[in-house]
Copies of this chain bind each other. A is one copy, B any other.
Amino acid sequence: MLLKEQYETVRRRSEKICAPLKTEDYVVQPIVDVSPPKWHLGHTTWFFETFILLPNAKDYTVFDPQYNYVFNSYYESVGARVIRTNRGNLSRPAVEDIMRYRKYVDEAMISFLEEELSPELQELFILGLNHEEQHQELLYTDIKYILGHNPLFPAYDIHHKDIPVVNNPGDSWLNIRAGVYDIGFAGDGFCFDNELGRHTVYLADYKISTTLVTNTEYLDFIQAGGYQDFRYWHAEGWDWVKNNQVTTPMYWYNIDGKWMHYTWQGLQPIMPDAPVTHISYYEAAAYAAWKGQRLPTEFEWEVAAPQLAWGQRWEWCESAYLPYPGFAKAPGAIGEYNGKFMINQMVLRGGSEVTSPNHSRITYRNFFHPSLRWQFTGIRLAG
Protein backbone atom coordinates (compact mmCIF):
# COMPACT_ATOMS: atom_id res chain seq x y z
CA MET A 1 0.00 0.00 0.00
CA LEU A 2 1.18 3.50 -0.73
CA LEU A 3 2.12 5.66 2.22
CA LYS A 4 -0.78 8.02 1.50
CA GLU A 5 -3.25 5.18 1.52
CA GLN A 6 -1.84 3.78 4.70
CA TYR A 7 -2.11 7.21 6.22
CA GLU A 8 -5.70 7.64 5.16
CA THR A 9 -6.65 4.19 6.42
CA VAL A 10 -5.22 4.74 9.87
CA ARG A 11 -6.49 8.28 10.27
CA ARG A 12 -10.02 7.52 9.19
CA ARG A 13 -10.19 4.53 11.49
CA SER A 14 -9.61 6.71 14.59
CA GLU A 15 -12.52 8.89 13.62
CA LYS A 16 -14.72 5.91 12.87
CA ILE A 17 -14.10 4.53 16.35
CA CYS A 18 -15.46 7.79 17.78
CA ALA A 19 -18.41 8.06 15.41
CA PRO A 20 -21.01 6.60 17.82
CA LEU A 21 -20.06 9.06 20.58
CA LYS A 22 -21.96 12.10 21.71
CA THR A 23 -19.92 15.28 21.98
CA GLU A 24 -19.98 15.04 25.77
CA ASP A 25 -18.33 11.60 25.68
CA TYR A 26 -15.21 13.09 24.10
CA VAL A 27 -14.50 15.29 27.12
CA VAL A 28 -14.35 13.38 30.41
CA GLN A 29 -11.49 11.62 32.21
CA PRO A 30 -12.95 9.51 35.03
CA ILE A 31 -9.58 8.12 36.18
CA VAL A 32 -6.04 9.22 35.54
CA ASP A 33 -5.26 6.27 33.24
CA VAL A 34 -8.16 7.04 30.92
CA SER A 35 -7.82 10.01 28.57
CA PRO A 36 -10.68 11.95 26.98
CA PRO A 37 -11.31 10.66 23.42
CA LYS A 38 -10.83 14.16 22.00
CA TRP A 39 -7.40 14.21 23.58
CA HIS A 40 -6.40 11.03 21.73
CA LEU A 41 -7.62 12.55 18.46
CA GLY A 42 -5.58 15.68 19.07
CA HIS A 43 -2.48 13.97 20.44
CA THR A 44 -2.04 11.60 17.49
CA THR A 45 -2.37 14.57 15.16
CA TRP A 46 0.12 16.59 17.19
CA PHE A 47 2.60 13.71 16.74
CA PHE A 48 2.59 14.08 12.93
CA GLU A 49 2.65 17.86 13.15
CA THR A 50 5.49 18.03 15.66
CA PHE A 51 7.80 15.28 14.53
CA ILE A 52 7.21 15.22 10.75
CA LEU A 53 5.69 18.43 9.41
CA LEU A 54 7.29 21.06 11.59
CA PRO A 55 10.92 20.00 11.07
CA ASN A 56 10.54 18.81 7.48
CA ALA A 57 7.63 20.37 5.58
CA LYS A 58 8.66 23.60 3.93
CA ASP A 59 6.49 26.58 4.85
CA TYR A 60 4.36 24.56 7.22
CA THR A 61 2.53 26.80 9.68
CA VAL A 62 1.51 25.36 13.01
CA PHE A 63 -2.26 25.09 13.37
CA ASP A 64 -2.28 26.62 16.84
CA PRO A 65 0.90 27.18 18.85
CA GLN A 66 -0.93 26.52 22.13
CA TYR A 67 -1.83 22.99 21.09
CA ASN A 68 1.68 21.79 21.88
CA TYR A 69 0.93 22.52 25.52
CA VAL A 70 -2.40 20.69 25.42
CA PHE A 71 -1.59 17.62 23.32
CA ASN A 72 1.93 16.67 24.32
CA SER A 73 1.57 13.51 26.36
CA TYR A 74 4.86 12.89 28.04
CA TYR A 75 7.63 14.11 25.81
CA GLU A 76 9.72 16.18 28.16
CA SER A 77 11.87 17.32 25.24
CA VAL A 78 9.12 19.29 23.54
CA GLY A 79 7.96 21.65 26.24
CA ALA A 80 5.49 21.93 29.05
CA ARG A 81 2.40 19.77 29.08
CA VAL A 82 -0.97 19.67 30.78
CA ILE A 83 -0.54 17.30 33.69
CA ARG A 84 -2.33 14.10 33.02
CA THR A 85 -4.96 14.44 35.73
CA ASN A 86 -6.05 17.77 34.26
CA ARG A 87 -6.96 16.52 30.80
CA GLY A 88 -10.58 15.97 31.82
CA ASN A 89 -10.90 19.60 32.96
CA LEU A 90 -10.35 21.01 29.48
CA SER A 91 -13.55 21.81 27.61
CA ARG A 92 -11.53 23.52 24.89
CA PRO A 93 -10.27 22.91 22.25
CA ALA A 94 -13.75 21.75 21.33
CA VAL A 95 -14.30 18.55 19.36
CA GLU A 96 -15.02 20.52 16.19
CA ASP A 97 -11.75 22.44 16.65
CA ILE A 98 -9.87 19.18 16.92
CA MET A 99 -11.59 17.84 13.84
CA ARG A 100 -10.44 20.97 11.97
CA TYR A 101 -6.96 20.39 13.36
CA ARG A 102 -7.01 16.84 12.02
CA LYS A 103 -8.16 18.04 8.61
CA TYR A 104 -5.49 20.75 8.49
CA VAL A 105 -2.69 18.35 9.41
CA ASP A 106 -4.05 15.64 7.11
CA GLU A 107 -3.98 17.97 4.13
CA ALA A 108 -0.45 19.01 4.91
CA MET A 109 0.59 15.38 5.36
CA ILE A 110 -1.02 14.22 2.11
CA SER A 111 0.73 17.00 0.30
CA PHE A 112 3.99 16.19 2.07
CA LEU A 113 3.69 12.53 1.12
CA GLU A 114 3.66 13.48 -2.55
CA GLU A 115 7.43 13.69 -2.36
CA GLU A 116 9.68 10.81 -1.58
CA LEU A 117 10.66 10.42 2.04
CA SER A 118 14.17 9.68 3.22
CA PRO A 119 14.48 6.29 4.92
CA GLU A 120 14.70 7.96 8.35
CA LEU A 121 11.62 10.01 7.69
CA GLN A 122 9.78 7.00 6.36
CA GLU A 123 10.63 5.15 9.55
CA LEU A 124 9.32 8.03 11.61
CA PHE A 125 6.16 8.17 9.51
CA ILE A 126 5.52 4.46 10.06
CA LEU A 127 6.12 4.99 13.77
CA GLY A 128 3.46 7.72 13.68
CA LEU A 129 0.97 5.30 12.14
CA ASN A 130 1.74 2.62 14.72
CA HIS A 131 1.50 5.22 17.44
CA GLU A 132 -1.97 6.16 16.27
CA GLU A 133 -2.94 2.49 16.17
CA GLN A 134 -1.89 2.15 19.77
CA HIS A 135 -4.13 5.08 20.62
CA GLN A 136 -6.97 3.46 18.69
CA GLU A 137 -6.89 0.61 21.16
CA LEU A 138 -6.86 3.14 24.00
CA LEU A 139 -9.79 4.94 22.39
CA TYR A 140 -11.79 1.74 22.62
CA THR A 141 -10.79 0.93 26.18
CA ASP A 142 -11.21 4.51 27.39
CA ILE A 143 -14.61 4.85 25.75
CA LYS A 144 -15.67 1.59 27.38
CA TYR A 145 -14.51 2.91 30.75
CA ILE A 146 -16.32 6.24 30.31
CA LEU A 147 -19.62 4.67 29.30
CA GLY A 148 -19.32 1.59 31.50
CA HIS A 149 -18.85 3.69 34.64
CA ASN A 150 -21.76 5.99 33.89
CA PRO A 151 -24.75 5.22 36.14
CA LEU A 152 -26.98 5.08 33.03
CA PHE A 153 -24.82 2.34 31.41
CA PRO A 154 -25.37 3.67 27.87
CA ALA A 155 -24.49 1.34 24.99
CA TYR A 156 -21.59 2.35 22.76
CA ASP A 157 -23.41 0.98 19.72
CA ILE A 158 -26.26 -1.49 20.02
CA HIS A 159 -25.14 -3.16 16.79
CA HIS A 160 -21.53 -3.58 17.90
CA LYS A 161 -21.10 -7.14 19.14
CA ASP A 162 -18.16 -8.43 21.08
CA ILE A 163 -16.17 -10.55 18.66
CA PRO A 164 -17.37 -14.10 19.21
CA VAL A 165 -14.63 -16.13 20.77
CA VAL A 166 -14.17 -19.82 20.06
CA ASN A 167 -12.12 -21.40 22.73
CA ASN A 168 -10.71 -24.88 22.36
CA PRO A 169 -12.81 -27.38 24.26
CA GLY A 170 -11.33 -28.69 27.49
CA ASP A 171 -7.89 -28.13 28.92
CA SER A 172 -5.08 -28.87 26.61
CA TRP A 173 -1.42 -28.26 27.15
CA LEU A 174 1.42 -27.72 24.78
CA ASN A 175 4.75 -29.14 25.97
CA ILE A 176 7.92 -27.36 25.00
CA ARG A 177 11.35 -28.87 25.33
CA ALA A 178 14.18 -27.25 27.20
CA GLY A 179 16.76 -25.47 25.08
CA VAL A 180 18.02 -22.16 23.80
CA TYR A 181 15.62 -20.04 21.81
CA ASP A 182 15.83 -16.72 20.03
CA ILE A 183 13.66 -13.90 21.26
CA GLY A 184 12.87 -10.51 19.77
CA PHE A 185 12.06 -9.04 16.42
CA ALA A 186 13.90 -10.39 13.37
CA GLY A 187 11.94 -9.43 10.24
CA ASP A 188 12.32 -6.26 8.24
CA GLY A 189 8.87 -4.76 8.77
CA PHE A 190 8.03 -2.33 11.52
CA CYS A 191 8.58 -3.01 15.19
CA PHE A 192 8.93 -0.90 18.32
CA ASP A 193 12.35 -0.33 19.82
CA ASN A 194 11.51 -2.48 22.84
CA GLU A 195 11.31 -5.58 20.61
CA LEU A 196 14.78 -5.09 19.19
CA GLY A 197 17.96 -6.71 20.42
CA ARG A 198 17.09 -10.19 19.23
CA HIS A 199 18.82 -12.45 21.69
CA THR A 200 19.09 -15.98 22.99
CA VAL A 201 17.40 -17.28 26.11
CA TYR A 202 17.54 -20.68 27.71
CA LEU A 203 14.20 -22.17 28.68
CA ALA A 204 13.68 -25.26 30.82
CA ASP A 205 10.98 -27.78 29.91
CA TYR A 206 7.56 -26.22 30.30
CA LYS A 207 3.96 -26.65 29.38
CA ILE A 208 1.59 -23.89 28.33
CA SER A 209 -2.18 -24.02 27.96
CA THR A 210 -3.63 -23.79 24.47
CA THR A 211 -6.73 -22.06 25.80
CA LEU A 212 -7.45 -18.96 27.84
CA VAL A 213 -9.21 -19.12 31.18
CA THR A 214 -12.96 -18.70 30.61
CA ASN A 215 -15.59 -16.77 32.52
CA THR A 216 -16.96 -20.03 33.89
CA GLU A 217 -13.56 -21.11 35.16
CA TYR A 218 -12.96 -17.71 36.71
CA LEU A 219 -16.39 -17.80 38.35
CA ASP A 220 -15.28 -21.00 40.09
CA PHE A 221 -12.42 -19.04 41.61
CA ILE A 222 -14.81 -16.31 42.79
CA GLN A 223 -17.22 -18.81 44.26
CA ALA A 224 -14.44 -20.76 45.95
CA GLY A 225 -13.64 -17.59 47.92
CA GLY A 226 -10.55 -16.65 45.92
CA TYR A 227 -10.95 -12.94 46.63
CA GLN A 228 -11.16 -13.64 50.37
CA ASP A 229 -8.06 -15.84 50.76
CA PHE A 230 -4.80 -13.92 51.08
CA ARG A 231 -2.73 -17.02 50.34
CA TYR A 232 -3.21 -16.66 46.59
CA TRP A 233 -2.21 -13.02 46.41
CA HIS A 234 0.90 -10.89 46.29
CA ALA A 235 1.09 -8.65 49.35
CA GLU A 236 0.46 -5.58 47.18
CA GLY A 237 -2.33 -7.41 45.39
CA TRP A 238 -3.99 -8.24 48.68
CA ASP A 239 -3.84 -4.59 49.75
CA TRP A 240 -5.30 -3.64 46.37
CA VAL A 241 -8.18 -6.12 46.81
CA LYS A 242 -8.99 -4.80 50.27
CA ASN A 243 -8.55 -1.10 49.59
CA ASN A 244 -10.70 -1.23 46.48
CA GLN A 245 -13.08 -3.90 47.72
CA VAL A 246 -12.53 -5.91 44.57
CA THR A 247 -14.65 -9.05 44.29
CA THR A 248 -15.01 -9.57 40.52
CA PRO A 249 -13.42 -8.53 37.22
CA MET A 250 -14.10 -4.96 36.15
CA TYR A 251 -17.56 -4.43 34.63
CA TRP A 252 -19.09 -7.48 36.34
CA TYR A 253 -22.27 -7.05 38.38
CA ASN A 254 -24.38 -9.60 40.14
CA ILE A 255 -27.92 -8.36 39.59
CA ASP A 256 -30.62 -10.31 41.36
CA GLY A 257 -28.43 -13.39 41.42
CA LYS A 258 -27.52 -13.22 37.75
CA TRP A 259 -24.02 -12.37 36.52
CA MET A 260 -24.03 -9.47 34.09
CA HIS A 261 -21.27 -7.38 32.57
CA TYR A 262 -21.06 -4.12 30.72
CA THR A 263 -20.47 -4.59 26.97
CA TRP A 264 -20.55 -2.44 23.84
CA GLN A 265 -24.27 -3.08 23.81
CA GLY A 266 -24.85 -2.16 27.46
CA LEU A 267 -25.38 -4.58 30.33
CA GLN A 268 -25.53 -8.20 29.10
CA PRO A 269 -25.35 -11.63 30.69
CA ILE A 270 -21.84 -13.08 31.05
CA MET A 271 -20.92 -15.46 28.21
CA PRO A 272 -19.76 -18.62 30.00
CA ASP A 273 -17.21 -19.81 27.43
CA ALA A 274 -15.64 -16.49 26.54
CA PRO A 275 -12.18 -15.78 27.93
CA VAL A 276 -12.36 -13.81 31.15
CA THR A 277 -11.21 -10.23 30.66
CA HIS A 278 -10.64 -6.92 32.47
CA ILE A 279 -8.58 -8.49 35.24
CA SER A 280 -5.40 -7.14 36.82
CA TYR A 281 -2.04 -8.92 36.98
CA TYR A 282 -2.77 -9.51 40.66
CA GLU A 283 -5.97 -11.36 39.78
CA ALA A 284 -4.30 -13.33 36.99
CA ALA A 285 -1.51 -14.42 39.35
CA ALA A 286 -3.95 -15.25 42.16
CA TYR A 287 -6.07 -17.34 39.84
CA ALA A 288 -2.98 -19.24 38.67
CA ALA A 289 -1.87 -19.82 42.27
CA TRP A 290 -5.33 -21.13 43.15
CA LYS A 291 -5.06 -23.59 40.25
CA GLY A 292 -1.60 -24.64 41.39
CA GLN A 293 -0.15 -23.28 38.16
CA ARG A 294 1.62 -20.11 37.14
CA LEU A 295 1.63 -17.53 34.35
CA PRO A 296 4.09 -18.00 31.46
CA THR A 297 7.12 -15.75 31.12
CA GLU A 298 7.13 -13.55 28.06
CA PHE A 299 9.88 -15.77 26.60
CA GLU A 300 7.89 -18.96 27.08
CA TRP A 301 4.96 -17.21 25.51
CA GLU A 302 6.90 -16.02 22.46
CA VAL A 303 8.40 -19.45 21.80
CA ALA A 304 4.99 -21.16 22.04
CA ALA A 305 3.06 -18.47 20.19
CA PRO A 306 3.26 -19.93 16.67
CA GLN A 307 1.41 -22.98 17.95
CA LEU A 308 -1.28 -21.00 19.80
CA ALA A 309 -4.37 -19.20 18.61
CA TRP A 310 -3.89 -15.90 19.94
CA GLY A 311 -4.98 -12.27 19.67
CA GLN A 312 -8.10 -12.57 21.81
CA ARG A 313 -6.79 -11.06 25.01
CA TRP A 314 -3.68 -9.32 26.26
CA GLU A 315 -2.17 -12.12 28.33
CA TRP A 316 -0.40 -11.16 31.54
CA CYS A 317 3.11 -12.66 31.68
CA GLU A 318 5.25 -13.36 34.72
CA SER A 319 7.85 -10.98 33.31
CA ALA A 320 8.64 -7.45 34.31
CA TYR A 321 9.01 -4.96 31.50
CA LEU A 322 12.79 -4.56 31.17
CA PRO A 323 15.14 -3.77 28.30
CA TYR A 324 16.42 -6.53 26.05
CA PRO A 325 20.20 -6.91 25.88
CA GLY A 326 21.63 -4.12 23.76
CA PHE A 327 18.54 -1.94 24.07
CA ALA A 328 19.40 1.69 23.48
CA LYS A 329 17.14 4.70 23.41
CA ALA A 330 17.01 6.61 20.14
CA PRO A 331 18.40 10.13 20.47
CA GLY A 332 15.87 12.98 20.77
CA ALA A 333 12.23 12.95 21.72
CA ILE A 334 11.46 9.67 19.96
CA GLY A 335 13.89 8.03 22.37
CA GLU A 336 11.40 8.72 25.14
CA TYR A 337 8.97 6.36 23.53
CA ASN A 338 9.48 3.15 25.48
CA GLY A 339 12.62 2.98 27.58
CA LYS A 340 11.56 5.35 30.28
CA PHE A 341 8.61 3.16 31.23
CA MET A 342 10.77 0.13 31.97
CA ILE A 343 10.07 0.01 35.71
CA ASN A 344 7.20 -1.34 37.81
CA GLN A 345 5.26 -2.67 34.83
CA MET A 346 4.45 -6.22 33.77
CA VAL A 347 4.53 -7.49 30.19
CA LEU A 348 1.42 -8.56 28.28
CA ARG A 349 1.56 -10.50 25.07
CA GLY A 350 -1.02 -11.25 22.40
CA GLY A 351 -3.60 -8.71 21.38
CA SER A 352 -7.32 -8.16 21.74
CA GLU A 353 -10.54 -7.61 19.89
CA VAL A 354 -9.83 -3.88 19.95
CA THR A 355 -6.24 -4.05 18.74
CA SER A 356 -5.92 -2.47 15.32
CA PRO A 357 -5.75 -4.98 12.45
CA ASN A 358 -2.21 -6.26 11.83
CA HIS A 359 -0.92 -4.08 14.62
CA SER A 360 0.31 -6.75 17.01
CA ARG A 361 2.78 -9.54 16.32
CA ILE A 362 4.48 -12.42 18.15
CA THR A 363 7.31 -10.22 19.42
CA TYR A 364 5.07 -7.32 20.47
CA ARG A 365 5.56 -6.27 24.08
CA ASN A 366 2.65 -4.53 25.72
CA PHE A 367 3.02 -3.40 29.35
CA PHE A 368 0.91 -2.02 32.18
CA HIS A 369 1.05 -1.53 35.92
CA PRO A 370 -0.06 -4.73 37.66
CA SER A 371 -3.19 -3.14 39.15
CA LEU A 372 -4.71 -1.94 35.87
CA ARG A 373 -7.55 -3.75 34.21
CA TRP A 374 -9.42 -1.49 31.89
CA GLN A 375 -7.58 -3.10 28.94
CA PHE A 376 -8.88 -6.36 27.44
CA THR A 377 -6.57 -8.52 29.55
CA GLY A 378 -6.77 -12.28 30.03
CA ILE A 379 -5.14 -15.34 31.59
CA ARG A 380 -3.18 -18.19 30.04
CA LEU A 381 -1.71 -20.75 32.43
CA ALA A 382 1.70 -22.36 32.29
CA GLY A 383 3.44 -24.96 34.42
Q: Which residues on A are within 8 Å of B, measured CB to CB?
A: 22-30, 38, 66, 69-70, 74, 76-77, 82, 86, 88-95, 146-147, 149-152, 154, 178, 180, 199-202, 204, 206, 230-231, 233-238, 281-282, 294, 318-320, 322-323, 325-326, 335, 340-344, 346, 370
Q: Which residues on the B side are within 8 Å of A27 (C-beta)?
A: 24, 27-28, 91
Is B318 in contact with A237, judged by CB distance below 8 angstroms? no
Chain B proximity of A259: nearest CB distance (Å): 22
B28:A90 contact, CB within 8 angstroms: yes
CB-defined contacts of A77 to chain B, threshold 8 Å: 231
**How many protomers of this protein does the assembly include?**
4
Assembly CA distance A74 to B200 (angstroms) = 39
Knowing that A28-B91, A202-B202 are A-B contacts, what are 12 other residue pairs whose CB atoms are under 8 Å apart, sorted by A's residue number?
A: A22-B94, A24-B95, A28-B90, A89-B146, A91-B150, A180-B202, A199-B204, A206-B325, A235-B341, A236-B344, A238-B340, A318-B322
Closest to A294 in B: B323
Q: How far is the CA of A91 from the CA of B322 in the complex (A)?
A: 38
CA distance A3 to B126 in the complex (A): 66
Sampled A-B contacts (23; CB under 8 Å)? A22-B91, A22-B94, A24-B94, A24-B95, A27-B27, A28-B90, A30-B89, A66-B152, A74-B235, A82-B151, A90-B150, A91-B147, A92-B152, A93-B152, A180-B202, A199-B204, A202-B202, A206-B325, A236-B343, A236-B344, A238-B340, A294-B323, A344-B344
Q: Is the CB of B151 within 8 A of A234?
A: no
The answer, among B26, B237, B346, for a CB contact under 8 Å with A24, is B26
* CB pair B152 A234 closer than 8 Å: no
| Bound Cα distance A225, B233 (Å) | 39
Contacts of A76 in B (CB 8 A): 230-231, 238
Report the bound CA distance from A77 to B149 in whole Å.
Answer: 25
Considering the complex, give the chain B residue whose CB is closest to the CB of A234: B343
Instruction: Check A235–B91 contact: CB distance below 8 A.
Output: no
A231 CB contacts on chain B under 8 angstroms = 76-77, 335
Of A24, A151, A318, which is in contact with the most chain B CB atoms at under 10 Å from its CB? Answer: A24
